Amino acid sequence: MPHTILRIDSSARRDGSVSRALTDRILARLSDDTTRIIPRDLAGGLPLLTADWIGANFTPEADRTEAQRAELALSDALIAELKAADTIVIGLPVYNFGLPAALKAWIDLVARAGVTFRYTEAGPEGLLGGKRVIVAAASGGTPFGSEIDFATRYLTHILGFLGLTDVTVLGADRLAVDADAALAAAHAAVDRLPRAA
């Protein structure tokens, strides 16, 4: 079985994006001729949750109408991509101290009770375990790991909630302060990534 990597890009910029360039570098590091890449570019945006979507999601699967199944079709496709992947690489530009809206919309579409997590007597349990996640982050001024880094902390938390606990965050932070140093450190971190999980 070939190794499968799900690549998620969330930068609104397709040209000149640091997070996309880092994701390129990560894929070059981790993939070979047999690797299967599933691309998912969120730059065009994703639909936000609606009352109809929520109603469909909370209707038992056997009782859903055709309209409700259609309402959940994109969510089902996004979850299928996650389940098919051995490794997930997420490009994360920090916008206003948080995630791009499209990446938050992706999270809302894939975080589904009974599908990607469930509630138990012992608390919530993620259902997507056994996968490696690498986050390629980029920020203009936010230091990663600092008290104002809401983006990587939130993303790591919600991934763990879904059972994705093997998460490596690397990237270029404070690009507006010293871009050359930030990029050099990020490239070095990518080059140190183990090729196998």
Which residues are CB-neighbours of 177 under 8 A, at least 6 positions away?
A: 141
Q: Considering the entire predicted model, what is its pTM?
A: 0.96
b/e per residue 57-69 (b: at least 16 CB within 10 A): beeeeeebeeebe
Question: Residue 192 carries which side chain, given as an amino acid letter?
Answer: R
Angstrom distance (rounded) from CA 81 to CA 127: 14
Per-residue pLDDT of the chain (197 residues; tens, 9 = 90+): 789 999 999 999 999 999 999 999 999 999 999 999 999 999 999 999 999 999 999 999 999 999 999 999 999 999 999 999 999 999 999 999 999 999 999 999 999 999 999 999 999 999 999 999 999 999 999 999 999 999 999 999 999 999 999 999 999 999 999 999 999 999 999 999 998 65
Q: Where are the domains of the chain?
A: 4-191
Q: Which residue positions form the known binding site?
A: 11, 17-19
Angstrom distance (rounded) from CA 132 to CA 64: 33
Q: Are 171 and 92 contacting, i.e. CB atoms less than 8 angstroms apart?
A: yes
Q: Are 169 and 162 contacting, i.e. CB atoms less than 8 angstroms apart?
A: no
To which residue do tokens 């299928």 refer? Answer: 80
Residue 170 to residues 14, 43, 53, 73, 136, Cα–Cα distance (Å) = 20, 21, 34, 32, 5
Q: What is the pLDDT of residue 41?
A: 98
Quick one: fold of 4-191? Rossmann fold (3.40.50)
Q: Which residue positions form the known binding site for FMN?
A: 11, 17-19
Angstrom distance (rounded) from CA 171 to CA 175: 10
Angstrom distance (rounded) from CA 135 to CA 158: 13
Q: What is the pLDDT of residue 163?
A: 98
